Amino acid sequence: MTSQDGQAPRDHGAVGCKHEVFLSYSRKQRDFVEQLDKDLRNCGYSPFFDRDRYSLPVTENTTNNIRAAIRQCEVGIVVLSEDFFSLTIWPMFELAYMVECKTRIMPVFYGISPTDLDDVDKHKRWRSEWEKLADKYVKENPDKENLVRIPEWREALNSLGPTQGFVYNETQGQVKLLTEIVKEINSRVSPFPDYSYVQGGVRFCQVLVPEKLKSTIVSFSNNLVLINVGENDFITLLTH
């Protein structure tokens, strides 16, 4: 697949650079989110998508990677569905951490409506499902009991309603919804600079912390890339 300017989409994750957008969803909406990930990458973004091996390497600590990615991201796109609240612990874990980090949350209602977030009966049912999920997860992972924090999940759920977001409409279809989401991201978030085509760019992204990179002044002249990172950071780059 090519990008809008005719070039192949850049794989920002491969160089260890910063994510701008975190994609949170239930696995039953995986196909929809996978297409959203592709559409965002075609616009130059590097979203965190857990099916992408560069976002979530199988050999690394899953929990730490998720938390680090959420801290990086400016926006969290949360695809809300019945499954989001009841299938596994991970969507609520991610949502609660986004709320803790004060990440800007962009809800996408997929099979549920915004009014469901104010439905007391649905809240009770979802909380009941969380209790079951928590019991099962802790039995299977007794050393990770601290990951299941239902009071924080309740606060995260309450923080969503009432709220505005994107609503999936079967009549309009997924293409229109995906287009609207990407358009909104384009209006709110600038893609992180891509250094993958720069000699030494991989090491550059791995050595310098994303916060310093974000404020870096970058200019281009012929085949040169001029980067103002300050004396200390420049020395760090050369000595690694």
pTM: 0.73
Contact 70, 103 (CB under 8 A): yes
- Structural domains of the chain, with CATH: 12-188 (3.40.50.10140), 201-239 (no CATH)
Rounded to an integer, what is the distance from CA 182 to the centroid of its chain?
A: 14
Residue type for position 66? I
Can you say whether residue 184 is alpha, beta or left, with left for phi > 0 and alpha for psi between -120 and 50 degrees?
Answer: alpha
Each of the 240 residues of the chain gets a pLDDT tens digit; together they read 323 333 333 333 333 458 899 999 999 999 999 999 999 999 999 999 988 766 666 656 788 889 999 999 999 999 999 999 999 999 999 999 999 999 999 999 999 999 999 999 999 999 999 999 999 999 999 988 888 999 999 999 999 977 789 999 888 889 999 999 999 999 999 886 655 445 554 444 444 444 444 444 444 444 444 455 554 544 344 434
**Count of residues making up the chain:** 240
